[in-house]
Amino acid sequence: MTYLRACSLSVLQEDVPKRVELNGVPVAVVRTDEGVFAVNDVCSHANVSLSEGEVEDCMIECWLHGSSFDLRTGKPSGLPATKPVAVYPVKIEGDDVLVSVNQES
């Protein structure tokens, strides 16, 4: 599994998504009280950026139609989205947030 540096841990504000692009893949990186998560930054219902939405209780909400996705699993909590978004493995090394976009779950 190849990990790429997404950003510094110190720049992530709690519950504020940060959009990064890794090997051409748009990724939303989010720091919560449960840890740091990375999901595909494109809503599975509409082609909009999830990182522009709000985060609460380890869920990221699509700003356009209100679907929320679990940051741990990528599963939507309800309509209109029915398909999950990809979740990417994250590891922290010092102040670096590393994400593997090669391995989706």
Q: Does the pLDDT of residue 72 top 90, yes or no? A: yes
Q: Does the pLDDT of residue 104 top 60, yes or no? A: no
Look at residue 103 in the predicted model and tell me its pLDDT: 57
pTM of this structure = 0.93
Category of 87 on φ-ψ map: left (φ > 0), alpha (ψ -120 to 50) or beta: beta
Instruction: Work out the pLDDT band at 1, boundaries 50, 70, 90.
Output: confident
Q: 62 exposed, middle or buried (CB, 10 Å; 0-12, 13-18, 19+)?
A: buried
Q: Which of 6-10, 61-65, 99-103 has the lowest mean pLDDT?
A: 99-103
Q: Which residues contact 93 (CB under 8 A, 6 or more apart)?
A: none
Mean pLDDT score, 78-100: 95
